[in-house]
Structures are given as C-alpha cells and as structure tokens.
C-alpha cells in the first residue's frame, strides 16, 4: 500500500486540503495517523468494526487490546457511553480537551472490535489542533491507539510514524508539535471508585482534587515486584521497548554513575555497543558508545517529552545495551518511570549508596 505523507505547514489552504483528504480516507474505512498533544495516534472510524480491525492488523496489535475513541464535543460522550456519572462529567469538564482518557460503560453503537471485546469504552477529547480538526472535518469518532508497531515506543515525531507505518496505512499527517510525549492518563470511571489504569501527564493528585478518592490499579503500583493482571489490557504487554536490552540502575547518584560505567566497560570490552540514558547534569560522567540526556534532572516534562525519541535513537545507533539512571517522580515523572520500567521489562539493578559512604 502506498502511504500518503502530508505535512502541515503555514499554507492554510493546503492544510484544509490535507484535512479534507484525510477525512475522506477515514469515512471510507481507511487508516490515518495524526498528531495529538500526547503521542501520534493511528486513526480509523470507531463505529465501523471493519475499519477498526485494520488498526490491529497494521500495528500487529493483539485483538484483546482495546482502542481509545477520540471526540471533539462533550455531547459525543453520551453517544459512546451508556452511563456517564456526575463524577465522570466533572472530570471531563476539568481536563478536556486534554491528555485524559476515561473508561465508561459502552453504548451498543460501539463495536466490540473497537473495545477489544469489553463492555466498556475508552474516550478522550484531545486538545491538539490537528486531532480536533480531523475529528470535526471527518464528522466521525476516531478510534486511535498510538501509531507505533505493537511493542515499540509510542511515536512522538512524524519520522517515528513513517518508519513504523509507511506502506501499512493510507495516510500520515506530519506535524511535529507533539507536546507531552507520553500517552494519556487512563482513569476507569465504570466502577464504584475511580481508578488510574495508566499514569500520564495528569497526576493522581490533580485527579483527586476533582474526584476525591482515586484508586490506582495494583498493576501500576506493583510494577517493581510481581505483576498483577492490569485492567487496561494494553498494560500487560511488553511495551515501549527498544531493541536493545535496557537496565535501570538506581541508588545514590555517584554509586549509579560508577555502576553504570562498570557495566558499560564490561560490555564494551566484550565487543558490545552500549548506550547510557541520563540527566543533563550527569551525562558527562559516562564512558559509553552513545550517551543521551533527557534534560535537566528536575525537568520532568522534558523527560516525558524526550524519553520515547531517545529509546528509538538508541535503536538507530544499533546499541546492544542501554543503562539508564532513574528519573524523579514528583509529577509527570511518575509516568516517565512507569514507561521506563516497562521498557526495561522490570530489570532494575540497585547500586546502593556506593563504596565511599
């Protein structure tokens, strides 16, 4: 299949033409990748089971891993969900449009292909202009998981989408204005107590300010230990993973630096290529083939924005091992570490407090 790659520029009449063309593709049951404020999405008509099934094919995604339905107006929520509680409405009013996905009991109109066989539906109203325009111009609800091949890091740049999806989908809207860099926070509003199924830019603390009690799915909190079965099916798969073997090294700062340098040296002596993922402050301390900084250590938003691109860049450099520092978890950093730990397949080495202490 030939994939049309259309770039958004300052030429507004050309942009209009691009959204018209993409809308036509979606209305005809085709696939269009488009930017959102979190990551790129791979879109299809959410109410057309055949169109939605093409998403699973193009990504190589397991059919029990449901899609998120993207909307542009609050009324759309009532067309997709059979029950919208007062709490759910409050949450939508507080954070939509924005990086929040709500799980609600689904309406009969939503095919099970879109919901991975579940009786609930995931709904999100994105704030990115390209996403909003595509939903409005096409006049449909757009089912869209992240636009990566299944298992790979989510795409935050058009080049990532092109390398994963060219030849597999009808069209890519290229516009490198993805702001956040990590997928939306998912909150299950279908049960008694709201529960976070996936951490994201909107934190538990922000959610509690609106909702009061908010639970966190044990699969999110127990990720350092034995895994519980997550309620967001997508969270059970090996995910966000680069091809290289990724290990997180935690402990006191100097101990981490020493341990990473020691492991890197051993691997390089054995002929392997090694990458290190660090904060700007310490990236000069490492001896490895490729060293990448995500930003200043305290800048959690920069870490979120740069993490997936960095993992992909390590792959392009052909590194065999990646050793990563841990990153702070006060705000969106929680979601950063959630993705990093998954990408590492839970491999965490403790460097302790070091020899001098």
Question: What are phi and psi for residue 241, nearest 5 degrees?
Answer: -90, 130
* Contacting ligand TXA within 291-320 (CB under 6 A): none
Q: For helices 333-343 and 300-317, what crossing angle results, to 10°?
A: 20
Cis geometry, peptide bond prior to residue 97 (ω within 30 degrees of 0): yes
Size of the site for ligand TXA (CB under 6 A): 30
Candidates 45, 120, 137, 146; binder of Mg ion (CB under 5 A) is 146
Among all residues, whose Cβ is closest to ligand TXA? 234
Q: What is the chain's length?
A: 357
The tokens describing 259, both together, are: 């341990």
Which of 45, 101, 203, 324 is close enough to bind ligand TXA by CB under 6 A? 101
Which residue number, 142 or 255, has a Cβ lying nearer to ligand TXA? 142
| CB of residue 261 to Mg ion, shortest distance in Å | 33
Specify the residue, 18 or 337, whose C-beta has the smaller distance to Mg ion.
Answer: 337
Which residues 6+ apart lie within 8 Å of 254 measured at CB?
A: 354, 356
Q: Which residue is nearest to Mg ion, using beta carbons?
A: 146
Burial class (CB in 10 A: 0-12, 13-18, 19+), 114: buried
- Which residue in this structure is represented by tokens 């050793």? 323
Position of tokens 């049960």? Answer: 191
Q: Does 184 bind ligand TXA (CB under 6 A)?
A: yes
Query: Does position 113 bind ligand TXA by CB under 6 A?
Result: no
Contact criterion met (CB below 8 Å) for 21 and 134: no
Q: Which does 246 bind (CB under 5 to 8 A by kind): ligand TXA, Mg ion, none?
A: none
How many other β-carbons are positioned within 10 Å of the β-carbon of residue 119? 11
Structure tokens at 193: 């107590």
Among 234, 242, 275, 333, binds ligand TXA (CB under 6 A): 234
Binding residue for ligand TXA, selected from 53, 65, 129, 221, defined by CB under 6 A: 65
Stretch that binds ligand TXA, among 34-42, 276-284, 294-302, 329-337 (CB under 6 A): 34-42
Query: What tokens appear for 6 in the block?
Result: 């259309």
Nearer to ligand TXA, 59 or 297 (CB): 59
Residues that bind Mg ion (CB under 5 A): 145-146
């Amino acid at each position: 299949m030939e994939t049309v790659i259309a770039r958004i520029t300052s030429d507004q009449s050309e942009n209009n033409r691009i959204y018209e063309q993409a809308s036509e593709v979606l209305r005809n049951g085709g696939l269009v990748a488009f930017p959102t404020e979190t990551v790129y999405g791979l879109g299809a008509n959410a109410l057309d089971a055949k169109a939605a099934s093409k998403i699973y094919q193009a990504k190589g995604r397991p059919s029990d891993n449901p899609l998120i339905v993207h909307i542009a107006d609050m009324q759309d929520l009532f067309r997709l969900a059979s029950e919208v509680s007062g709490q759910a409405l409050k949450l939508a009013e507080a954070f939509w449009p924005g990086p929040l996905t709500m799980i609600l009991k689904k309406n009969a109109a939503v095919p099970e292909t879109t919901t991975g066989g579940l009786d609930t539906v995931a709904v999100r109203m994105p704030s990115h202009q390209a996403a909003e325009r595509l939903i409005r111009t096409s006049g449909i609800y757009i089912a869209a998981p992240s636009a990566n091949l299944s298992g790979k890091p989510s795409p935050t740049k058009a080049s990532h989408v092109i390398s994963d999806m060219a030849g597999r989908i009808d069209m890519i809207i290229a516009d490198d204005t993805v702001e956040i860099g990590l997928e939306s926070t998912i909150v299950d509003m279908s049960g008694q107590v709201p529960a976070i199924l996936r951490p994201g830019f909107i934190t538990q603390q922000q959610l509690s300010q609106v909702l009061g009690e908010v639970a966190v799915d044990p699969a999110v909190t127990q990720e350092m230990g034995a895994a519980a079965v997550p309620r967001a099916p997508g969270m059970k798969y090996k995910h966000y993973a680069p091809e290289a073997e990724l290990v997180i090294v935690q402990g006191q700062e100097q101990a981490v630096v020493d341990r990473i340098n020691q492991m890197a040296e051993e691997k390089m002596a054995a002929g392997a290529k090694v990458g290190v993922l660090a904060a700007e402050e310490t990236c000069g301390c490492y001896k490895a083939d490729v060293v990448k900084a995500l930003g200043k250590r305290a800048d959690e938003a920069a870490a979120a924005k740069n993490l997936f691109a960095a993992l992909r860049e390590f792959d392009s450099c052909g590194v065999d091992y990646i050793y990563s520092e841990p990153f702070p978890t006060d705000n969106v950093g929680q979601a950063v570490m959630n993705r990093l730990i998954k990408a590492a397949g839970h491999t965490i080495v403790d460097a302790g407090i070091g020899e001098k202490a």
